[in-house]
Each structure stands twice: as C-alpha cells, then as structure tokens.
Amino acid sequence: MFDYLNYYFKLDNHLVESNFSRDKLYFNTDIFYDYSPILKLPKYIDEFKSTHRSKFWYNIRRSKRLFQEDFGEISFEIYKNKNAFRLLDTVRHIFIERWANTYTSFYWKRKDGFDKFKTTIDYIINNYPDTFQISVLKIKSSDEIIAYSVGFETNNTYYFWMHNVKVKYSLSKYSLGTIFLNNLLFHLIDKGNIKIFDFMLGINDYKLKWAKQRKKIYWRIKTKKNSINLIKHIFKVLFYFLKIKIQKNKFFSNIFKRIFIFFERSKKFNKIFNIIERYVFRM
C-alpha cells in the first residue's frame, strides 16, 4: 500500500511494509523508520463498544453534544471516486491552514506537489474504482466541513492516510477528532467488509486511544544494480540512516524544524530552500 501511495514522488526510496517484495534489479536496503498502529475491526458495533469503558463513549457523546449546542447539528459523509476528487481542493485549504505555522515538507503545501498528487489520485480512481475516498464531518446548516480524512480501501483494509480538523474547531473542549474517528469506525464496521483499520505512520496519542497493535514500517532505499551504483547505494543508506536518526531525536528535530520554518518563510532564501528540500532532503 505504501508503494502505490508514494508513487507520485517518482522516487526509488520510499516507505514500505516489511512484507513488500523486493525488486531483483535493484540493491534494496530497508531501514526501520516507525510503527503503524492497526485496529482489527469486529463484526458488530456492540462488540466494538465492549473494547472501551462506558466513560470513553460517554465523553464522545458529551463532546458531540457540547459542539452541537455551540454550532448546530453535525453530519458524517463519505465521498468516493470523482466525488471525492472534487473535494481535494477544499480539504487542502484546511490542511494548509492547520500547518501554516509548522514546518512540514508534505507536498500538499506546494502547488506542483499537490498537482502530482491529484494526477495519481485520478489514475487510482480510473484503475482501482472505490479505493480512494474522503470522509467528512460537516455542520448541517452551513454545509461547512469541520474535519476530514483522506483514506484508501484495499484488500479488506482501510488506510487512514491523512486527517485534519479545522483550526477554529480544534479545541480540547470538543474532541472533534475523536468524534470524527468514532463516526468513521462505526461506518466501516457497519459496512462489514473492512477487517483492518490501518492508522499508518506514527505512534500518536489519538491513534493509541483506539489501536493497541502495531506493525513496523521501513524506509526502503533502492538503487539500480551495477558495480558503480553499489558505492552510491552505500552512501544513500548512510544518508538516510542519519536523516532518520535526526528526525527521531526530539532535540535535533526541533532545531532543524525552526531553521526550516525560517527558510520556508524567507523571501530571500525561499527559492534556495526549495531546491535543497526537493533535491537533497528528497534524494
């Protein structure tokens, strides 16, 4: 799944699950990157409810009630294929607003990256119908999207690729993210064909509220096989090993993020930074 989600990067190096096959025409090295929490979905909602205490479900109902008292009734909707595709620009605005003051190299911040993503999604829709979907939480009266997720369904698994809550509603008082996930999980259990909910990369607290199991995710470095490229491959392995170590170290990671935010916002250095980010960080 990671292979075809990362297709639009057009790179030989990307995230994979440990059970992905290796390309025999390449030197392949997998470096442990992170864990992906996974949740096995039961057949019935009552069975799912038994996995948490009654207080957990009460807090979700309370959050929903408080939110609706302030902003009105909410609704949960699923869009697939072209209907989901038409929502991409709308949810991108929520993403950019959410991460406006935080460094992220995620391609959605740049128009060229977002356009490549849309091209890939168009390919997926045409070749793998009903795989791509966007789930949204809306305020009924205004039809305003207040939370969304981009997800993929394949092989009885739902891949929770990306999720955001609109900034002005992102308050602990409401736990809107939990309300959203509750709706999404109940919907998937009702459908009956999804057996695994894959939260994908990252051990975040909000994921661990639901998922207790996890699987390892690796960063695969691939280089075409020949005698010269063996040295190149070794260099790339060392580069990514150090890069991952820095990313996983909070102290160094925070320092680099502050530097990147400065360059990202600076008109003087922005073009230079974009070149470095595109051709060095994404080597």
Per residue in 52-97, pLDDT tens? 999 999 999 999 999 999 999 999 999 999 999 999 999 999 999 9
User: Is residue 9 predicted with pLDDT exceeding 50?
Assistant: no
* pLDDT for residue 6: 57
Among 107-116, 134-143, 247-256, the range with the most confident prediction by mean pLDDT is 134-143
Residue 160, both tokens: 């929770």
* pLDDT for residue 75: 95
Tell me if 104 is assigned to some domain.
yes
pLDDT above 70: percentage of residues in the chain: 82
Tell me if 188 sits within 8 A of 147, measured CB to CB.
no
User: Is residue 273 predicted with pLDDT exceeding 70?
Assistant: no
Query: Domain residues for 94?
Result: 42-194
Tell me if 263 is assigned to some domain.
no
* pLDDT for residue 2: 54
User: Is residue 211 predicted with pLDDT exceeding 90?
Assistant: yes
Count structural domains, the chain.
1
Q: Say how far apart CA 242 and CA 238 lie, in whole Å.
A: 6
Tell me if 185 is assigned to some domain.
yes
Tell me if 199 is assigned to some domain.
no
CATH code: domain of residue 151: 3.40.630.30
* pLDDT for residue 118: 92
Residue 247, both tokens: 């990313």
Count of residues making up the chain: 283
Tell me if 269 is assigned to some domain.
no
Among 10-19, 93-102, 229-238, 256-265, the range with the most confident prediction by mean pLDDT is 229-238
User: Is residue 225 predicted with pLDDT exceeding 60?
Assistant: yes
Tell me if 119 is assigned to some domain.
yes
Q: What are phi and psi of 59, to 5 degrees?
A: -65, -35
Tell me if 148 is assigned to some domain.
yes
* pLDDT for residue 283: 42
Q: Which residues contact 229 (CB under 8 A, 6 or more apart)?
A: 27, 223
Tell me if 84 is assigned to some domain.
yes
264 pLDDT band, cuts 50/70/90, is: low
Choose the weakest-confidence range: 34-38, 128-132, 233-237, 277-281.
277-281
* pLDDT for residue 110: 80
Report the DSSP pairing between strands 144-154 and 157-165: antiparallel
What does the chain look like in DSSP terms, one character per residue? -HHHHSGGG--S-EEEETTPPPPTTEEEEEEEEEEEEEEE--SSHHHHHTTS-HHHHHHHHHHHHHHHHHH--EEEEEEEHHHHHTTHHHHHHHHHHHTTTS----GGGSHHHHHHHHHHHHHHHHHSTT-EEEEEEEETTTTEEEEEEEEEEETTEEEEEEEEE-GGG--TTTTHHHHHHHHHHHHHHHH----EEE--S---HHHHTT--EEEEEEEEEEEE-SHHHHHHHHHHHHHHHHHHHHHH-HHHHHHHHHHHHHHHH-TTTHHHHHHHIIIIIT-
Integer CA distances (angstroms), 115 to 3, 17, 111, 112, in order: 19, 26, 6, 5
Q: Say how far apart CA 114 and CA 107 lie, in whole Å.
A: 6
pTM: 0.82
